[in-house]
Each structure stands twice: as structure tokens, then as C-alpha cells.
């Protein structure tokens, strides 16, 4: 909503404030003023000129040499506009003027001819092209002949005006009119407001005698008022009216249409004007359209209607799409002499639906959608009739043709001052509350210590007690509300164990060198199920904005790989990222997908990089594995963790494992398949993804202290040659089982394949630590246990011992 502060002065006197102060007060009271537009743009030296003489430029086809009277002085100005002509009053920017586009006007020579300024279009004065009357859209603006050369053109065009740009919240549709704004400003400033005085002398002929009305769709159209004005002379509106409309963001057309738009902006009541003669039938019938019925709207588009849409007809065919747009067949145009003014209440839902279906939103439809003030429907029609009499020479017929079943009674709200104060944490006296209601012009009685308020229909946002608390508080001033803290039955607050663990996981991964990524939950069909830990139906959007983001992800890895590729492409070749977040699997009983929190990571490039001391290491499987092991250790689950070789789509078949927590598979880890790496422009890249939820929900034993050993331990190393396929885990398991109670720790410390070892075999070395918490171990004890281990390895793993 654009509010001209000049226009506003007609209704409320705000002039003791600066425009900035006014804007600030309005904002603080609840309607955000987004900006202030100075329509003069600080221009100077813009005057009215009279074209005394205008001849073709001898050297240029499109230019004219004009002798312009700029007020007691004749100035030669070269003009290139197609509509320049002798005898016109025009806008002249004199040398020294600076136009809103930044253009500086100077004396100049154009093809050898001197030019002392510029004859301007409205666009050149900063008026948007879509607001410029069509007649002057392509050229200079021509003023009427009752002006005087040398006067300020800006004054004449009403450009010494500042516009408040309102950012209205959806509830404040009452401020979609100048009167509504005036009520608001009046309440804020505690000022009376001046409403338009409507008076005109009507002709003896009755409107009802020339027009019949029947409303069939009474629910969608509970009130319809038509007035008839005869002998109208359609012409350009007076300058002030055109100026006012342009200041409100509306293009002037002709006096009849301009008057309906003026009243629309003044009252917030959309009006429509029909050419009475073009209606042909002297009848208006409001009904729903017939399915498939066609009509051509004002914009010359033929529209096919459905039976939910409300139309105004002449009894035979539609002449307007109710509340949305008029029809071309009944439009007021040059030569129209009798006008029917329509003012109606159309049901908000009906207009919203229709305007959405036909894809048309207008100043009218937005106001109907919010619900217009039932008590202004008839008055707005009277206001338009008065203006047509005054400005278009019309003769208003007596009375109006009306259908009215609309409820116009104000809603009553009863409020106790305690209720207000208890909710605000304040102590506002009832008298003060009453004063605020007076400022808002809400009729209020004080009965038995309560405020009894009859809410005017113009404030349809005020429905419940809490709405009135807001009115009181905002006008009393939110700055007056004290600052306190809530007193609630005390709760300990804090993170749940699950939330605390999530933070531990994140901090661990960051300490381990991984940075947290945050990627989108919506994925492409290609990525949605890639790397997923389980197979489940996907969750698709009904109306995706792109295929790229059309399905909820079932794995985090694809987007982490995208992020990795993005970074590598920007020459950050060593990347370590992790993410925790939801994946979406199948559908649960309640209809929602199963949301499971996962953790995923991607590593590529160098892991250790300390070049000058010759210490660098590329990421490999075991770097990622170590990170996963550390994570489980952090969560107290290390001893329950296992890895088994696995085959996963898009992963390297020889370098991928399933991660097990006890006997539950909780994740995958491994290298991305070389083909996939290549497709994604990546070097060797390792990923992991785990069901974090399952891991974090696994109960762990209470942390209990274990005695610090009092007796020394003894270590023995074993070197073995085994089959290449024998896994370390298998050997370790054999050792653990055979080693018995005394064996405390087994650690693989060497692995060798190649020279000096037979093909198909490998050499592995373990360090075994024996320990008895009760006593010092003897050599004999260790030899006994150790030989069992060696035997078991020989028998179960076909191992050859190396000395």
C-alpha cells in the first residue's frame, strides 16, 4: 500500500510531525513503513513551458526546433518526441536541472542547433511507465491549457509529495484504504479525522425505473448496490485526480474509471462502472457462471468459466467476473453517456478462488479477498456518484438499485482490565484503556468494571479479547511493557542423553579433523537411494520445483560427495567432511516417513600433510576405519564393534566393509568405486555412513573404575606366515580364544607380503601381553599360555611360525 502524505492530509492533520517522524510512529504502532519515497526526487528548475513555435530540424528527421516560453523568456529547445507540437503546454527541464535518472541538463548543440534544456516525459520525472496515461506513454506529457508558463511543473503535477510504503500484515486489511490509514494515524496521534462529505443533487428520475437487479447467488454476493448516472461526459480527469491516482500507483484512464479507482483507494471499496447502454437489457443478474461459459475480460482475453465462479450478467451473458475484472462488452469508453456504478460485497473465498483460477490479482480482488467493510458498500457508491456529478457533468438518478442481506452489526467484545493486565504484565487503568478505545473510535462503555466494546465493521481483524489486548498495548506503547522473566514450576532443563551424545559425536569428529557440512534433504532420483543402508520406499514431493530436489534422501553420502567435488574443483584437494542429519525411509503407520538420524563422512586427498619433514599420507581405508573406531570408543561401544567385508553398490568391491554393533549392522565404510570417483571428478575417496540413532540409542554399561595393575605384565611377539586370505580379525580371534584368562592384549604390529614370503601368503606379527592382576607372572605361566596360542594358530589357521 502506497500512502501519499499529501492525500492523507485531507483526512487527518499530521503536519506537526516530519514525514520521518510520522513513519516512525506508524511503524512503532504496528504497520511497518518500509520506505519513504520523495516523488520530487529533489528536482529543481523544472517549469511549465509554452511551445510558441515548432519547426522541423533541418539536419535531423526526428528532431524539432521549438521556441518555448518558459515564463517571460523564450528559450530554444530541441525536442525529439513524436508528439511535440506548437501550442502545447509542456514540462521543461531547464539547464541546471538534475533528473531522477541522474541526467544533468546543460546547454547543448544538437546537429548545429542550440538547445537550452529538455522537454520532458513523465517517465523522465521519475514516474513509472506503467502509471503514465496511455496517451503520453510514448512521448512528452502535454498539460492542459489552463496553466501558466514559468510556473513550477512539479507543483502542478503534485510531485512535492512523499509516499509511505506500507508493508501490511495480512490482518490489517483495514489499512488498504486512505480512510483506514486516517483512522490509524488519528488513533496514534490522538487526532480527529475528517471524513468526506457526500452531497449532490439527484435528478427526479429514479434509478429503479431504469435498472432491474436480481441476485441469484446470495451467499457469494450478499450485498449489491447499483447507481445510475446519466449525461456523463467521458474525458481526461482533472490534473489533481490524475496526480492522486499516480501517487497511489494507479494509471489514470478517463474521469469515470478514475473516479471508481479514487473511491477504491479512499474507501477500500472496489467499484465497477458499466456503460448502461451497452448492457442493452436494462438488467443486472448476479449468478454463478455456467460450466464452460465464455467471456472476454477488459484485457481482451477470452476466459472459459466454471460453475463456482461468480459473474455479473445482463440477464443473458456475463458482463463482469465479479470482483476480479470487468467485461470488454460493457466497458465505459469515449462516448459513454450513462454509467452504472456497482458497489458490492463479494464473499472473500469466492473472489480468492476465482482470482487464483484465472490468474488475475488486482487492487479490487485483493480487497474483496480480505473482506470489505459492509458499512461502506453503499456509501462508496454515493461517493462515486457525487464525484461523477462534480467531475464528469453527470446527472445522478434518485436512489439506488439494491440487494442487501449483509449483516452489518458490530461485534461486541467484553473485556476486564485484569484480563488485559495479567496478560501484559502491566497495570493500565481502565480509564486509560477507554481513552485508547476512544482514539481508535471504537464505541466503548464501562459496565460493571468491564470494557464493553462494539467493534466497527471496518476493523474485521478485531474478533477476540486478545485482539483488544494488542490494540491497548500497541497504542499504550510496547516500550512501556516491563521486562520480567517467566515463573514456571522449575524444570532442570538441559539436553537429553541423546542430544548430549549427538554433540559428543560432532565434537569428536571435529577433533579428529572433519568439518561439519550441511547439505539438502531433497535429492535427485539418481542420488536419493544411492549408498542407502537399507532398501525402503522413497518419499516424493507432489510438486517439486526441480527434479534435482524431488525426493527425500535415504543417504547423506551423495550430497557429501557433491560437496567434496565442489571443493576439489576449487583446488582444495584434501577434504574431510561429516554431516549428521535425517534420512527418510518408507512410510510408518501414521503416514509419515521413518526419519532416522545418520552420520556420514567423506575423505579425500592427504590425511597427514607435513611436507618439509617428509611426512605426508594419503587417506585410505584405515584412516576412515580409525575414525569410526574412535567414535565407538568415545561412545563406550568399542569392544562391541566389528567390520566385515561387504559389497555395496557404487563402492569399491575389495575395500568396503559393513560396520557391526554387536549383531546389528549399523553402517558402511569404504572407498567409493573408481568408476563413480571418475564420474564425480574425484581422486581416491573414502566414505562412511552409519545409523547414528541406532548407535546412540544403544545402552552402555555404567562407567566403573578398574584397579590400576599392581603386578607387571609380560609381552611376547609372534611372527606368522599365513594364507593371504586369512583375515587379521580371524587370527586375532584364534589368539584370544587360545590365550585364556592371562592374555590381556593382542596387537598386530607388522604385515608383509612380497619377497621372502611365498606367493599367496603373507607374514603377520602380533604382540601379545600377558598379565595376572593377582600376582607376578612366572615364565612358566607365560610359556604355557603362549604355546597354546601357537598350537591353535598352527592348527586353526594353518600358520607357519617364523622365528
Partner 1 sequence: MKEQLHELKEQVILKIKESNTVKDLNDVRVAYLGKKGPITDLLKGMGKLPAEERPKMGALVNEIRESVTEILEERKETLEQQAIQEQLENESIDVTLPGRPVELGNHHPLTRVVEEIEDFFISMGYEIAEGPEVEKDYYNFEALNLPKGHPARDMQDSFYITEDILLRTHTSPVQARTMEAKDGAAIKIICPGKVYRRDSDDATHSHQFTQIEGLVVGENIRMSDLKGTLDLLAKKLFGAEREIRLRPSFFPFTEPSVEMDISCFKCGGTGCNVCKKTGWIEILGAGMVHPNVLEMAGYNPEEVTGFAFGMGPERIAMLKYGVEDIRHFYTNDIRFISQFHRSEA
Q: Using CB under 8 A, which residues numbered 391 to 450 contact partner 1?
A: 422-426
Q: How many Cβ atoms are within 10 Å of 434's Cβ, its own excluded?
A: 18
d(CA 221, CA 344): 7
Distance in Å, CB of 373 to partner 1, minimum: 19
CB 248 within 8 A of CB 2: yes
Nearest-CA neighbor of 123 among 81, 165, 60?
A: 81
Minimum CB separation of residue 569 from partner 1 in Å reads 10
Judged by CB under 8 A, the residue of 166, 183, 578, 632 near partner 1 is 578
Report, in Å, the least distance between residue 84 CB and partner 1.
41
Q: Cα separation of 214 and 110, whole Å? A: 65
Contact window for partner 1 (CB under 8 A) among 506-514, 528-536, 618-626, 641-649? 506-514
Residue 329 DSSP label:
G
Residues 665-724 close enough to bind partner 1 by CB under 8 A: none
Q: Which is nearer to partner 1, 451 or 577 (CB)?
A: 577
Site string for partner 1, 482-501 (x = CB under 8 A): xxxxxxxxxxxxxxx--x--
The three three-digit cell numbers of residue 490, written as one number: 522449575
In the set 590, 701, 774, 779, which binds partner 1 (CB under 8 A)?
590
Q: What strands, in cross-sheet order, belong to the sheet with 664-672? A: 515-516, 575-585, 594-604, 685-691, 664-672, 651-661, 641-645
The Cα–Cα gap between 160 and 108 comes to 29
Number of neighbours of residue 718 by Cβ within 10 angstroms:
19
- Residue 194 or 609: the one with the smaller Cβ distance to partner 1 is 609
Q: What is the pattern of x (binds partner 1, CB under 8 A) and - over residues 510-549?
A: xxxxxxxxxxxxx----------------xxxxxxx---x
Residues 293-352 within binding reach of partner 1 (CB under 8 A):
349, 352
Work out how close the CB of 583 gets to partner 1 at its nearest, in angstroms, rounded to a whole number.
10
| Residue in 407, 615, 725, 780 binding partner 1, rule: CB under 8 A | 615
For 460, the grid coordinates are: 474485521
Pairing between strand 450-455 and 522-523? Answer: unpaired
Contacting range for partner 1; rule: CB under 8 A; set: 169-177, 243-251, 373-381, 780-788: 169-177
- What secondary structure letter does DSSP report for 479? G
**Kind and range of the H or E element at 246?**
helix 239-247
> Is 438 or 588 the residue whose CB approaches partner 1 more closely?
588
Distances (CA, A) of 383 to 7, 206, 271: 16, 18, 11
| Nearest to partner 1 of 29, 210 (CB atom) | 29
Q: Applying CB under 8 A, which of residues 6, 10, 27, 796 lies at the interface with partner 1?
A: 27
In the structure grid, which three cell numbers stand for residue 701, read together? Answer: 554399561
Dihedrals phi, psi of 15, to nearest 5 degrees: -70, -5
With binding defined as CB under 8 A, does residue 558 bind partner 1?
no
What stretch of H or E contains 142? strand 142-143
Which grid cell sits at 330? 460493457
Least distance from partner 1 to the Cβ atom of residue 509, Å:
6
- Closer to partner 1 at the Cβ: 190 or 715? 190
To the nearest whole angstrom, how small is the minimum distance from the Cβ of residue 219 to partner 1? Answer: 15
Answer for which of 429, 481, 728, 751 binds partner 1 (CB under 8 A) is 481
CA distances from 611 to 144, 542, 575, 606 (A): 83, 53, 17, 11
Identify whether the C-beta of residue 96 lies closer than 8 Å to the C-beta of residue 71: no
Sites for partner 1 among residues 343-362 (CB under 8 A) = 349, 352
**Distance in Å, CB of 614 to partner 1, minimum:** 12
CA atoms within 13 A on the CB side of 537: 9
Q: How far is the CB of 248 from partner 1 (least distance, A)?
A: 23
> Does 111 participate in binding partner 1 (rule CB under 8 A)?
no
Task: Give the nearer residue to partner 1 in terms of CB position, either 47 or 603.
Answer: 603
Considering the rule CB under 8 A, would residue 473 count as an interface residue with partner 1? yes
Stretch that binds partner 1, among 43-51, 115-123, 438-446, 562-570 (CB under 8 A): 562-570
Pairing of strands 515-516, 575-585: parallel
Of 503, 417, 518, 415, the closest CA to residue 467 belongs to 415
- Closest distance to partner 1 from the beta carbon of 513 (Å): 4
Q: Which CB atom, from 340 or from 563, has the smaller least distance to partner 1? A: 563
Binding window for partner 1 (CB under 8 A); candidates: 77-85, 254-262, 508-516, 673-681: 508-516
Which C-beta is closer to partner 1: that of 544 or that of 654? Answer: 544
Q: Which stretch binds partner 1 (CB under 8 A): 184-192, 216-224, 277-285, 474-482?
A: 474-482
138, 466, 681, 723: residue in contact with partner 1 (rule CB under 8 A): 466
Residues forming beta bridges with residue 451, ordered by sequence position = 415, 446
Binder among 160, 240, 478, 749 for partner 1 (CB under 8 A): 478
Q: Which of 32, 113, 165, 404 binds partner 1 (CB under 8 A)?
A: 32
Nearer to partner 1, 391 or 619 (CB): 619
**Cβ distance 347 to 354 under 8 Å?**
no
Which residues, including other chains, have CB under 8 Å from residue 209's CB and lie 6 or more apart? Answer: 397
Longest dimension (CA), the chain: 132
Which is closer to partner 1, CB of 134 or CB of 483? 483
CA-to-CA distance for 596 and 582, rounded, in angstroms?
5
For residues 411, 414, 418 and 419, what is the CA-based torsion angle, rounded to 10 degrees? -50
What is the closest distance, in whole angstroms, from the C-beta atom of residue 419 to partner 1 in the complex? 9
One of 19, 29, 414, 790 touching partner 1 (CB under 8 A): 29
**8 A C-beta contact, residue 623 and residue 688:** no
185 or 768: CB nearest partner 1:
185
Size, binding site for partner 1 by CB under 8 A: 93
Amino acid at each position: 500500500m502506497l500512502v501519499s502524505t499529501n492525500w492523507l492530509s485531507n483526512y487527518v492533520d499530521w503536519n506537526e510531525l516530519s514525514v520521518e517522524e510520522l513513519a516512525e510512529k506508524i511503524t512503532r504502532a504496528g504497520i511497518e513503513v518500509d520506505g519513504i519515497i520523495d516523488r520530487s526526487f529533489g528536482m529543481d528548475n523544472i517549469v511549465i513551458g509554452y511551445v510558441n513555435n515548432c519547426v522541423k530540424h533541418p539536419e535531423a528527421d526526428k528532431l524539432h526546433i521549438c521556441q518555448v516560453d518558459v515564463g517571460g523568456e523564450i528559450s530554444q529547445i530541441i525536442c525529439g518526441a513524436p508528439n511535440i507540437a506548437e501550442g502545447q503546454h509542456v514540462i521543461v527541464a531547464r539547464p541546471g536541472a538534475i533528473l531522477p535518472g541522474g541526467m544533468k541538463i546543460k546547454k547543448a548543440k544538437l546537429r548545429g542547433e542550440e538547445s537550452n534544456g529538455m522537454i520532458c516525459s513523465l517517465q523522465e520525472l521519475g514516474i513509472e511507465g506503467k502509471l503514465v496515461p496511455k496517451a503520453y506513454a510514448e512521448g512528452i506529457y502535454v498539460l492542459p491549457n489552463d496553466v501558466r508558463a514559468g510556473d513550477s511543473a512539479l507543483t502542478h503535477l503534485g510531485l512535492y509529495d512523499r509516499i509511505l510504503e506500507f508493508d501490511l500484515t495480512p490482518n490489517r486489511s483495514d489499512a488498504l484504504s486512505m480512510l483506514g490509514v486516517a483512522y490509524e494515524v488519528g488513533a496514534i496521534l490522538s487526532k480527529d479525522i475528517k471524513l468526506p462529505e457526500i452531497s449532490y443533487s439527484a435528478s427526479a428520475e429514479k434509478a429503479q425505473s431504469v435498472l432491474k437487479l436480481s441476485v441469484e447467488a446470495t451467499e457469494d454476493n450478499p450485498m449489491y448496490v447499483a447507481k445510475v448516472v446519466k449525461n456523463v461526459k467521458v474525458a481526461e480527469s482533472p490534473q489533481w485526480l490524475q496526480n492522486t491516482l499516480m501517487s497511489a500507483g494507479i494509471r489514470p484512464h478517463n474521469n469515470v474509471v478514475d473516479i471508481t479507482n479514487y473511491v477504491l483507494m479512499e474507501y477500500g471499496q472496489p467499484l465497477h462502472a458499466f456503460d448502461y447502454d451497452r448492457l442493452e437489457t436494462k438488467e443486472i443478474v448476479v449468478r454463478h457462471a455456467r460450466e464452460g461459459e465464455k467471456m472476454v475480460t477488459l484485457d481482451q482475453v477470452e476466459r472459459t468459466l466454471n460453475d463456482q465462479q461468480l459473474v455479473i450478467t445482463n440477464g443473458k451473458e456475463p458482463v463482469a467476473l465479479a470482483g476480479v475484472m470487468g467485461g470488454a462488452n460493457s466497458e465505459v469508453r469515449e462516448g459513454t453517456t450513462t454509467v452504472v456504478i456497482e458497489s458490492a460485497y463479494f464473499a472473500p473465498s469466492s473472489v480468492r478462488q476465482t482470482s487464483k483460477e484465472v490468474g488475475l490479482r488486482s487492487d479490487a480482488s485483493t480487497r474483496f479477498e480480505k473482506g470489505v467493510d459492509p458499512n461502506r458498500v453503499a456509501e462508496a457508491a454515493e461517493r462515486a456518484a457525487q464525484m461523477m456529478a462534480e467531475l464528469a457533468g453527470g446527472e445522478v438518478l434518485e436512489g439506488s438499485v439494491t440487494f442487501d442481506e449483509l449483516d452489518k452489526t458490530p461485534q461486541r467484545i467484553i473485556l476486564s482490565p485484569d484480563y488485559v493486565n495479567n496478560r501484559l504484565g502491566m497495570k493500565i487503568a481502565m480509564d486509560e484503556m477507554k481513552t485508547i478505545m476512544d482514539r481508535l473510535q471504537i464505541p466503548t462503555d464501562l459496565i460493571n468494571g468491564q470494557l464493553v466494546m462494539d467493534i466497527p465493521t471496518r476493523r474485521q481483524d478485531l474478533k477476540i479479547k486478545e485482539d483488544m489486548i494488542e490494540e491497548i498495548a500497541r497504542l499504550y506503547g510496547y516500550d512501556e511493557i516491563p521486562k520480567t522473566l517467566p515463573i514456571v514450576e522449575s524444570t532442570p532443563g538441559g539436553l537429553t542423553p541423546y542430544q548430549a551424545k549427538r554433540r559428543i559425536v560432532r565434537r569428536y569428529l571435529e577433533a579428529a579433523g572433519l568439518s561439519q557440512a550441511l547439505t539438502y534433504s531433497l535429492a535427485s532420483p539418481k542420488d536419493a537411494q544411492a549408498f542407502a543402508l537399507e532398501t525402503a520406499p522413497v518419499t516424493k514431493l507432489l510438486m517439486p520445483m526441480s527434479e534435482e530436489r524431488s525426493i527425500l534422501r535415504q543417504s547423506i553420502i551423495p550430497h557429501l560427495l557433491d560437496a567434496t567435488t565442489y571443493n576439489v574443483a576449487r583446488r582444495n584437494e584434501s577434504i574431510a567432511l561429516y554431516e549428521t542429519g535425517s534420512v527418510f525411509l518408507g512410510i510408518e503407520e501414521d503416514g509419515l516417513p521413518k526419519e532416522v538420524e545418520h552420520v556420514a563422512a567423506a575423505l579425500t586427498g592427504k590425511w597427514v600433510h607435513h611436507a618439509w619433514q617428509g611426512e605426508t599420507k594419503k587417506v585410505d581405508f584405515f584412516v576412515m576405519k580409525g575414525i569410526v573406531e574412535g567414535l565407538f570408543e568415545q561412545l563406550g561401544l568399542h569392544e562391541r564393534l566389528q567390520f566385515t567385508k561387504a559389497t555395496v553398490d557404487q563402492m569399491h568391491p575389495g575395500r568396503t566393509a559393513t560396520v557391526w554393533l554387536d549383531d546389528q549392522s549399523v553402517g558402511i565404510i569404504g572407498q567409493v568405486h573408481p568408476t563413480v570417483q571418475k564420474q564425480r571428478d574425484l581422486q581416491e575417496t573414502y566414505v562412511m555412513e552409519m545409523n547414528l540413532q541406532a548407535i546412540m540409542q544403544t545402552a552402555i554399561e555404567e562407567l566403573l573404575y578398574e584397579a590400576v595393575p599392581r603386578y607387571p605384565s609380560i609381552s611376547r611377539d609372534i611372527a606368522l606366515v599365513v594364507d593371504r586370505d586369512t583375515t587379521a580379525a580371524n587370527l586375532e580371534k584364534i589368539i584370544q580364544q587360545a590365550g585364556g584368562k592371562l592374555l590381556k592384549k593382542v596387537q598386530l604390529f607388522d604385515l608383509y607380503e612380497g619377497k621372502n614370503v611365498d606367493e599367496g601368503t603373507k607374514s603377520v606379527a602380533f604382540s601379545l601381553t600377558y598379565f595376572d592382576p593377582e600376582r607376578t607372572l612366572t615364565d612358566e605361566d607365560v610359556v604355557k599360555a603362549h604355546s597354546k596360542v601357537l598350537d591353535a594358530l598352527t592348527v586353526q589357521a594353518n600358520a607357519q611360525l617364523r622365528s
